[in-house]
Each structure stands twice: as C-alpha cells, then as structure tokens.
Amino acid sequence: MRPALCLALLMLATACSRVPEAESAEGDGARNGGWPTIAPLGAILDAADDPGRAPAAEAELTARAAALRARAAAIRQAAP
C-alpha cells in the first residue's frame, strides 16, 4: 500500500509541473497558425477513386517498396 501511495503522490506532483522545453517546442507558427481548412468528404473520396491516379500510385509504391527492401538488405549485411 505504501509504495502505491508514494507512486500516486509522485505522479500527482509531476503532473502539476510545467516543462518549459515542451511548451517552447511548438513555436509561434503552431500557436498562432489558426485552424486547418476542412475539406468536404465527397471531394476527397472522388479524388481517391480517380482511375487515372492508379498507375502513378502503383509506380510510387513499387519504387518505395524496392527502396525499403534495399535498405533492409543493407541493414542485414551490416549487422554482425
């Protein structure tokens, strides 16, 4: 019971503290940037269903998969 009480008090004390590094990390752009623009869902779904996009997306994914496989092979060879 006593260790649990100590842990609870420690967590309570740290939860109330302010961490200046974390507060200053977001920067003025994030603090004063405003809200993001909300796009209609229909336009997003229509763009996803565009059949002309499929070949380009497939080529991008194939190239990315090849790069990741090459990176994995290099890591395997470098490992002792």
pLDDT digits (tens, 9 = 90+) for 8-42: 888 887 766 676 666 666 666 666 777 778 888 88
Mean pLDDT of 60-79: 93
Q: Count the residues in the chain.
A: 80
Q: What is the pLDDT of residue 27?
A: 66
Q: Which residues of 42-78 are buried (b: 16+ CB within 10 A; e: fewer)?
A: eeeeeeeeeeeeeeeeeeeeeeeeeeeeeeeeeeeee
pTM score of the predicted model: 0.38
For 47, residues 6+ apart whose C-beta sits below 8 A from its C-beta are 53
